[in-house]
Structure 1
Amino acid sequence: MGLEVQFLNSKIKQLLVLTLIFSFFATSLLGFSNSASAAPSLDVKAEAAILVDGDTGKILYQKNVDMMLPPASMTKMMTEYLLLESIKKNKISWDQKTRITEHAHKISQNRGLSNVPLRVDEQYTVRELYEAMAIYSANGATIALAELISGSEAEFVKKMNAKAKELGLKDYHFVNSTGLNNKDLMGQHAAGDANEENMMSARSTAILAFRLINDYPEVLETASIPVKNFRDGTDDEIEMDNWNWMLPELVYGYEGVDGLKTGSTDLAGFAFTGTIKKGDTRLLSVVMKTNSYKARFDETKKLFDYGFDNFEKAEILPGNYQMKDQKTLPVVKGKEKEVKVSTKEPLSLVIKRGEKENYKPKFVVDKKKINKDGELTAPVKKGDVVGHLKIEYKGKGEDYGYLLDGDTKGKTEVAAAKSVEKANWLVLALRGVGSFFGGIWSGTVDMIKGLF
């Protein structure tokens, strides 16, 4: 009995140990499963914030995105846009020199603001002033560029508001080219009253940044410069340290960050529009009204980490893709009565990780290309665009849509896969006769059926 009891006790102990081990691993696996499937939470400590895919404008996260807030020096992205547009249109050139007005000179001498000192008896190239604005957020240099482009800052502000509307910004109000409070402009403010400041929502700020980096990607070549000397080798030489401390070489460096614009005033707090590229994915973020210089970068890091951890770029549709329920469109007056349609190009999007199956294509036909019966009219040429496929998210999470209404970057065109020539008059006539007699025959059959 003693040996049997000892043997039994030994087996019970082994069983208890195995049970504990199994319970430990089961709990660990369950915990892992729950953490993997749970919706990620993101607590961004900013009054407003947004994260988007920099290539398509797909919104990945948003908080108070339509609240109007002061953008401070993020305003200068609009000045950059108008400058780069003027250069593209050959209205000004990089090597063009300009003199400095008394107003721009006075502002540039205020070292309580971000500035490079400018002289009224000196000429500066557009490139010098642009680099001072883009790298060092120099306010006097910004005003000098606005005056060069439009003759006066007041006229430039009119262009800013007009361009904002053209670019599709939703909520905005520009009163100066710099983002300063008007009270800091020594009574020479371009628009509004003495205490006004530019206003934009996070969504509008993101739209402006999105258009800037996509229409003029060269802006990032300058925005990514960590430090540069202004007027190197002269008596006016000054070191310009980039205020974007998330550039990889600087204090809060984050690999892949290459822009874009910081901003801070008493009213705005600390704001930042950041952009980063890793592999073939570019993210763009905006945080507005954080409570410290460092906080704006901390909160941006949260957004970037969230974006890369929870989203991935994937090919949703290949080229020459055909919808299962819409492989053809009917054609009238053609040698063939229908034509195959397929996508012209593959479509890649930033999507939620592990949810590719929840992104479904929807065909949207171009109503201008079809008649009231939904038919194309011959002749149809191979490659003629007949509509587009857009992607709809069918998962459980929230879908925030895109920055811009009607944006085409989250879609792919659908085109005719072959040509359909117009039928000659004889074929069309015979079809007409056939339709006529077919109609009579159908009517006669219906009448006879009615008699019985």
Structure 2
Amino acid sequence: MNKIFNKTKWKKITATVLIFQLLHMFLLSSFFQTHHVQAQTDITVVSDELKSAVLMDAMTGQILYAKNADAALPPASMSKMMTEYLLLESVANGQLAWEQTITISKYASDMIGSGQQLAEGRQYTVKDVYRQLAIYSGNDASIALAEAIAGTEEQFVNMMNSKAKELGLSDQTYFANSTGLNNSELREYSALAPNVPNVPGETLLTANDAALLARNLIVDFPEVLETTSITEANVVESDPTSLKMVNWNWMLEGWKEYNNNFTEFAYEGLDGLKTGHTDEAGYCFTGTAERDGMRLISVVMGAGSEPERFRETKKLLDYGFNNFEKKTIVKAKSTLEQLTEVEIKKGVETKVPVVTETSITLLVGKQFDEATDVTIEAVALPEDIVAPIETGQKVGTVTVKYTSPSGEIVETVNLIAEEEVEKAGWFRLFLRAIKNFFVDIFEGVKNLF
């Protein structure tokens, strides 16, 4: 009896030890997997001297790299991306026309900082003033456009902050003027700008919000890149004798054609977007480049010098293009093994085959393993799906979860009916009800034994 007891006891002890060993191995494995993801997020891509940085996939908004990305910092002229957005929106909705002329106010023409090429009282086309803003980052152009759109810069600032909320920018982001200059400096011009000093605070933007603003700008108005990619141009497009302006963006691919100081910074596929500099902000840059159908958006804030902001941007973009690739996880109009059909009520057929409405494409790491990094869940709509059913009608959803180096990415698309299903007549439904009644009785009886 004791032998049996001891043998049983020994088996229990051995099993307990094995369980603890397996648990220990599992915890170690989980730690290293978590540590691996964290290390991917915390890898050193940009200099420690940068105040913040972000790398975003323009197609999905997926963040590929972030450093201090939620810190609200002065963005300098990067805030002009919002001025550009509101202008392009005004042209799109017919409020302004490209060939319409606007008269430059004394406040705009006397504005400090970049620009200073628009003369007080002179008329310019909206397009010429826009080009002066997008190519040369003109503060005078930014104010002239703000006044043309909203009447005063103060009213335009209200539009900027309203649009920021509409586009989903965080509450940390705030616009105090149309230029990105410090309001404390603008108050020295209060005789010329009686409205702007009434706007409290200073312009602040997070790197995440700068990237999101840039994404909205180039997705909603892709034509902006036609202008931001111009290396140099005349202030008045139709007058080759007018003043020349040179783009502050040294990374434009177009600079490769020139033998100048910018050639070494020229980056393949880069066609925008917005530089910025003040003493408080340091050197900032929101860039965007496209290669092989993949467009990235980079943001650097608080660089110590003009060349540094471009060198740090190159590091970010190189990291993105070298380590990530586009991958279609779910194809459009495809049948998924997770859910091939859904049940319907009151139809000629009791089920309908389903397919995905659109595709799901993600930017994934080059070491991507679909078997371990992705989960796909397909479900029918929670409510009853009742005939008649039309082809293409939504009947469910597909959710893809991807464990990326920067965190979990979740994308959802609709499941739709692949074919139509007519509503059944009352007699068919009556016979089906009788059949189901006897099937239920049979199953109930079968379960008794």
TM-score range, shorter chain: 0.7 to 0.9
Task: Tell me how far apart the structure 1 counterparts of residues 237 and 390 of structure 2 sit (CA, whole Å).
Answer: 59
Deviations 1:81-137 (A, max 9, x none): 110011110111000001122211221xx4xx1013322331111001100000000
Matched, 1:399 2:410: no
Q: TM-score, normalised by structure 1?
A: 0.80
Matched, 1:129 2:129: yes
Task: Tell me how far apart the structure 2 counterparts of residues 328 and 432 of structure 1 sit (CA, whole Å).
Answer: 21
Change (3 A) 1:98 1:184: same
Matched, 1:363 2:377: yes
What is aligned with 1:35? none
Q: Is the 8 A contact 2:64 2:406 kept in 1?
A: no
Q: Which runs of 5+ in 1 are unaligned?
A: 1-37, 403-409
Change (3 A) 1:390 1:191: farther
Matched, 1:64 2:68: yes
What is aligned with 2:250? 245
What is aligned with 2:163? 163
Task: Tell me how far apart the structure 2 counterparts of residues 147 and 90 of structure 1 sit (CA, whole Å).
Answer: 16
Q: Is the 8 A contact 1:86 1:149 kept in 2?
A: yes
What is aligned with 1:293? 306
What is aligned with 2:95? 91
Residue pairs, 1:392-431, within 5 angstroms: 392-394=401-403, 397-399=405-407, 401=409, 410-431=411-432
The residue type paired with residue 98 of structure 2 is W
Q: SS of the counterpart of 2:422?
A: coil
Matched, 1:221 2:226: yes
Q: Is the 8 A contact 2:289 2:295 kept in 1?
A: yes
Change (3 A) 1:393 1:229: same
Q: SS of the counterpart of 1:377?
A: coil
The residue type paired with residue 376 of structure 2 is K
Pairing partner for 2:77 from 73, 77, 85: 73
The residue type paired with residue 211 of structure 1 is N
What is aligned with 1:382? 391
Deviations 1:385-427 (A, max 9, x none): 33443332247x442648xxxxxxx544321112121111112
The residue type paired with residue 243 of structure 2 is I
The residue type paired with residue 321 of structure 2 is F
Task: Tell me how far apart the structure 1 counterparts of residues 175 and 241 of structure 2 sit (CA, whole Å).
Answer: 31
Pairing partner for 2:349 from 330, 333, 336: 336
The residue type paired with residue 257 of structure 1 is L
What is aligned with 2:236? 231
Q: How many angstroms does 1:266 deviate by?
A: 1.2
Task: Tell me how far apart the structure 2 counterparts of residues 262 and 67 of structure 1 sit (CA, whole Å).
Answer: 19
Q: SS of the counterpart of 2:254?
A: coil
What is aligned with 1:146? 146
Change (3 A) 1:87 1:172: same
What is aligned with 1:17? none
Change (3 A) 1:316 1:189: farther
Which has the larger Rg? 1
Residue pairs, 1:306-317, within 5 angstroms: 306-317=319-330
Residue pairs, 1:315-330, within 5 angstroms: 315-330=328-343
Q: How many angstroms does 1:161 deviate by?
A: 0.6
Matched, 1:103 2:107: yes
Q: TM-score, normalised by structure 2?
A: 0.81
Aligned residues: 394
The residue type paired with residue 377 of structure 2 is F
The residue type paired with residue 123 of structure 1 is Q
The residue type paired with residue 153 of structure 1 is E
Q: SS of the counterpart of 1:209?
A: helix
The residue type paired with residue 420 of structure 2 is S
Q: Is the 8 A contact 1:181 1:195 kept in 2?
A: no
Q: How many angstroms does 1:380 deviate by?
A: 1.4
Change (3 A) 1:394 1:401: closer
The residue type paired with residue 390 of structure 2 is K
Change (3 A) 1:48 1:386: farther
Task: Tell me how far apart the structure 1 counterparts of residues 57 and 73 of structure 2 sit (CA, whole Å).
Answer: 23
Task: Tell me how far apart the structure 2 counterparts of residues 202 and 255 of structure 1 sit (CA, whole Å).
Answer: 23
What is aligned with 1:9? none
Matched, 1:114 2:114: yes
Q: How many angstroms does 1:354 deviate by?
A: 3.0
Q: Is the 8 A contact 2:40 2:406 kept in 1?
A: no
The residue type paired with residue 176 of structure 1 is N
Moved more, 261-270 or 417-426: 417-426
Pairing partner for 1:303 from 316, 335, 348: 316
Change (3 A) 1:442 1:328: closer
Pairing partner for 1:52 from 56, 67, 77: 56
What is aligned with 1:43? 45
Q: Is the 8 A contact 2:229 2:254 kept in 1?
A: no
Q: SS of the counterpart of 2:344?
A: strand
Q: How many angstroms does 1:43 deviate by?
A: 3.4
The alignment's C-alpha RMSD in Å is: 2.6
What is aligned with 2:182? 181
Task: Tell me how far apart the structure 1 counterparts of residues 232 and 63 of structure 2 sit (CA, whole Å).
Answer: 32
Q: How many angstroms does 1:429 deviate by?
A: 2.5
Task: Tell me how far apart the structure 2 counterparts of residues 203 and 425 of structure 1 sit (CA, whole Å).
Answer: 58
Task: Tell me how far apart the structure 2 counterparts of residues 415 and 442 of structure 1 sit (CA, whole Å).
Answer: 32
Q: SS of the counterpart of 1:200?
A: coil
Matched, 1:279 2:288: no
Change (3 A) 1:400 1:243: farther
Q: How many angstroms does 1:232 deviate by?
A: 5.9
Q: SS of the counterpart of 1:282?
A: strand
Q: How many angstroms does 1:428 deviate by?
A: 1.8
Q: Is the 8 A contact 1:361 1:389 kept in 2?
A: no
Q: Which runs of 5+ in 2 are unaligned?
A: 1-38, 256-261
Q: How many angstroms does 1:291 deviate by?
A: 1.2
